Structures are given as C-alpha cells and as structure tokens.
Chain A
Amino acid sequence: MVEPSAMLADPKGLIAIGAGIAVGLAGIGAGMGEQTIGAAAVGAMAEDEKFFGKGLLMTVIPESIAIFGLVVALILLFVF
C-alpha cells in the first residue's frame, strides 16, 4: 500500500521540469531565428567581406531570447 503523501510529486522536481522547458523552448526559438539570419549573413558576406561584423551582430540578436529562457529557469530554480 502506497502512502498518499508519496503519490504527490515533489515540487522541486516540477520546478526543474519547468526550468528545463523554459531553457529548451527558448533555445529552439532562438535557433529558428538564427537559422534565417545566419543564412542571410553568410550570403551577404560571400559577396562582401565587410558584412562580417554586421552579419555576426545580426545573427546573435535572437540569442537574447535564449537568455530570457535562462533567466526564467534561474528564477524558477533559485527564487521558488
């Protein structure tokens, strides 16, 4: 016979799952954005090397979304 308290999930485990989803989905979203921008940046750079700096900057802009995901994950893990 299982104790009723044991059937309740550990809240820490749920928080960890939430943090994982936050980082994971944010990463996928950032990757999808970077895919298009990266392809365009490489195209522009192939024509003119001067686009390297601008292309690199543009490519990493969606990376902020991944950082938002990371921040949410850290809040979940350390604040709650």
Chain B
Amino acid sequence: MGISDGFKYAYIVARVRAMKGKLIPKEMYPKFLNMEIPEITRFIGETEYKKNVDELSKKYSGTDLFEHALNENLALTYRKLLDVSQGEANFLITEYLHSWDIWNIKTILRGKFSGASEEEILEDVVSAGQLRYRDITEIVKIDSVEGVIAAFAGTPYYHVLQEYSGDLADIENKLDKMYYSSLLKAVSSTGNKLFLKYLRTEIDLINLKLLFRMKRGGMERDDILKMLIPGGFELKETDLNRLSSLSFDEFVRALEDYSYWKAISDVSEDLSSLFNVETRLDKYAQSYITSISYYYPLSILPVLAYIISKKIEIDNLRIVVRGKETALKEDIIKTHLVM
C-alpha cells in the first residue's frame, strides 16, 4: 500500500473512527436489561439517536418510536458514509450497501405475501441503499406481489424478481446470490484484496448459518446445495458438497477442520437452539473485521468494521426493547445479544 492509497482513505477512516467512538459501549447492554422501555428510550434520546427520536416522537410512541428511530438513524448513518467518501471507498461502500436494497425488497415482498399493512412493512424498511424512502413508500402502497415486482422494472433486481413463481424463499435466495455475485465482481474489479477476503469470509458465515438451519430442518443435499452462495473463502464448492451430504451431528463434527470452529466450539454441545450459533457467528464476523482493520488501518476495512458494528448496535438495541416488551427473561435476551 503506497502513500497515495493511504491518503485516499485517511479522511474517511479518521471520520469513521471518530464515529465509532460514539457507538454505545457494550458494557451498557447489561444495564439496559435492568431498565424499563421508557428509560431506555430516554437514554437513547440523549445519544446519537436524539435527532431521530425527537423528530419521530410526534408521530410514534413506545416501541414503534424506538423501531422507527433506530431504522432512520441506521439509514442516515450509512447515507452519511456515502456522502463523505469518494473514489474507490465510495464505490465499495455503495456496492456493499446494496444489501439494504435487497433487504427492503425482501421486506416488501414478505409483507405483501403475508398481507401485512403498509405501516407494518415500513416499520422494517431501512433506506440505506439506492432505493429512497419516498420511492419505497410508493411501492408499499401497491397491493399484490406481482404489482410490487412490476414496480421494480428498470432496476438491476428486476430480472431476478421476474422469475418469481409463488415461492418466496426461492426468490429471496436468488436475490442474495445476485447481490454477492455482483459484489464479488465489483470488488474484484478494484483489485482490493482485503475487502475481497472479508467478503468471502462473510459468504462462508452465511453459508454456515444456512447449513445449520437446513441440516436441522432435515433438508435433502440437492435442495441445500441450491440455496448455498458460491464464492466462499474456506468453504469452497467441494467443502459445501461434502458438508451438505452429512447428517447434522457429522456436519457439526466436520466443522472442527475449519477456523470457524473456534467461534462455535463452546456451544457445540448444546445445539437445541441455533440462536447461540448464529449469535456467535455474527460476533466472529465483527471481531474478524475489527482485527484485520487494525492490521490495515488505512484501507476500506475500518469503514466496513464500522458498518458492521453499527448494524450490530441497532440489532442489539432492538433485541433488548422487543425482549422487554414481550417480558422475556434477562438471560434469554442476553443470549441473543452480540457483545
């Protein structure tokens, strides 16, 4: 990495590091567990979320206010990253954040498929990608799934959405595959090997989660292989072929050969709930990107580390509040938190 590469990332990395300092420290989450929802909302209202909570408090209250404030803050934070970055950093962030377009499309399709109201769908929308909130609010007004798909004509997602034939899981999987294949292509074109390595690890972790779920569900090998995303770092095609043909217990034992085992080894004895595994894999992704971002401080990696940490913060806050709302025990909420 030459001086010019370092210069390109110095501004955005310093900015992101300052933003990272404003994230809620993980020591706060156990304290949140002892607070009531209004107290948590008040605390959040005194931090980076102040503006969002103040603006939305006229329209919403309680957990709805919380949910909307978190989503709006996440979208604005990601949009800010796009605004303050330039050149290669901007290109890579834009490509990475396309995942939120996919998220929004999935949310709308799921909502329309299950007959959810416009308000319920908008509660889960995060306009951090290329699709703007006002466009999404227009699309949400359409009644049928087919109508929603037609509204996406002209976007890069349309040719995948056109293949919809009533099977929502299939179209969601195709959207994920499309996202990762175009992202891998875009990142390869920049020659940014660091980002590529992280991305391929992320694909591995998604495939692992899918394998755990589908193995637990007792799905057939061919059906599993159809759902997995190609392009992983450690879990290459031959590994995926082998793992998908094993039984659940054999599959768990076979994972000992991979570096991801250290992330899940302590919960491998008790796999009654896959939440433990998924939480640990999320934690692995966060600690992996954070550690490699220290090795390469003037690269895209600190920005990615922030994007992921911010997402985890929002998810954790949501888990705490939703858990509190449904009167879940503290221990159960704690196991779901990524800390």
Residues of chain A at the chain B interface (Cβ within 8 Å): 32, 35-37, 39-44, 46-48, 51
Contact = CB atoms under 8 A, between A and B. Distances in A.
B17 to A, nearest CB: 7
A41 B14 contact: yes
B259 to A, nearest CB: 32
A36 B6 contact: yes
Enumerate the 8 nearest inter-chain pairs by beta-carbon distance, A residue then B residue, closest first: A47-B18, A43-B14, A40-B14, A43-B15, A43-B11, A40-B10, A39-B10, A39-B11
B148 interface: no
A65 to B, nearest CB: 14
Contacts of A46: 15, 84
A36 B259 CA distance: 36
B12 interface: yes
B17 A44 contact: yes
Interface residues of B, number: 16
B90 to A, nearest CB: 14
B69 interface: no
A38 B232 CA distance: 38
Interface string B159-194: 000000000000000000000000000000000000
B18 A44 contact: yes
B254 to A, nearest CB: 45
A50 to B, nearest CB: 10
Nearest to B8: A39
A42 B11 contact: yes
7 contacts: A35-B7, A36-B6, A37-B10, A44-B14, A46-B15, A47-B15, A47-B18
B128 to A, nearest CB: 19
Nearest to B19: A47
Contacts of B12: 43
The secondary-structure label for the interface of chain A is helix
B122 interface: no
A36 B7 CA distance: 5
B15 A44 contact: yes
B78 to A, nearest CB: 15
A38 to B, nearest CB: 8
Given A39-B11, A41-B14, A51-B18, 18 more contacts: A32-B3, A35-B3, A36-B10, A43-B11, A43-B12, A43-B13, A43-B15, A43-B18, A43-B84, A44-B14, A44-B15, A44-B17, A46-B15, A46-B84, A47-B19, A47-B22, A48-B18, A48-B21
A42 B7 CA distance: 12
Interface string B228-257: 000000000000000000000000000000
A44 B84 CA distance: 12
B10 A43 contact: yes
Most buried by A among B6, B14, B21, B298: B14
Nearest to A47: B18
A35 B22 CA distance: 26
A63 to B, nearest CB: 17
Contacts of B7: 35-36, 39
Interface string B1-44: 00100110011111101110110000000000000000000000
Contacts of A32: 3
Nearest to A41: B14
Contacts of B6: 36
Contacts of B84: 43, 46
Nearest to A38: B10
Contact of B13 (A40, A42, A48, A51): A40
A43 B21 CA distance: 14
B187 to A, nearest CB: 23
A58 to B, nearest CB: 10
Nearest to B17: A44
Nearest to A51: B18
A51 B21 CA distance: 12
